[in-house]
Amino acid sequence: MFLSRLFYSLNNSMQEQAVIQILELNEKTQSFGLVLSPDEARQMIAARNQPRIKSATPD
């Protein structure tokens, strides 16, 4: 039980760090008209973490 909570906490911490890194990029991308909200950054991380579906055709 303790180990699963530890992994959950570690995973959340890593995801929040990724969100912070994405939001820091707002400073560089703002001049191009691209600024992400914290929620949009979290959605990007969630999409990134989704398993990919293998296609029937080779890449």
- DSSP category for residue 25: T
- CA 37/CA 43 separation, integer angstroms: 10
pTM: 0.65
The model's pLDDT over 15-43, given as tens digits with 9 standing for 90+, comes to: 889 999 999 999 999 999 999 999 999 99
What pLDDT shows up at residue 57? 67
Helix axes 38-49, 2-24, angle to 10 degrees: 120
In terms of C-beta density within 10 A (0-12 exposed, 13-18 middle, 19 or more buried), how is residue 15 classed? middle
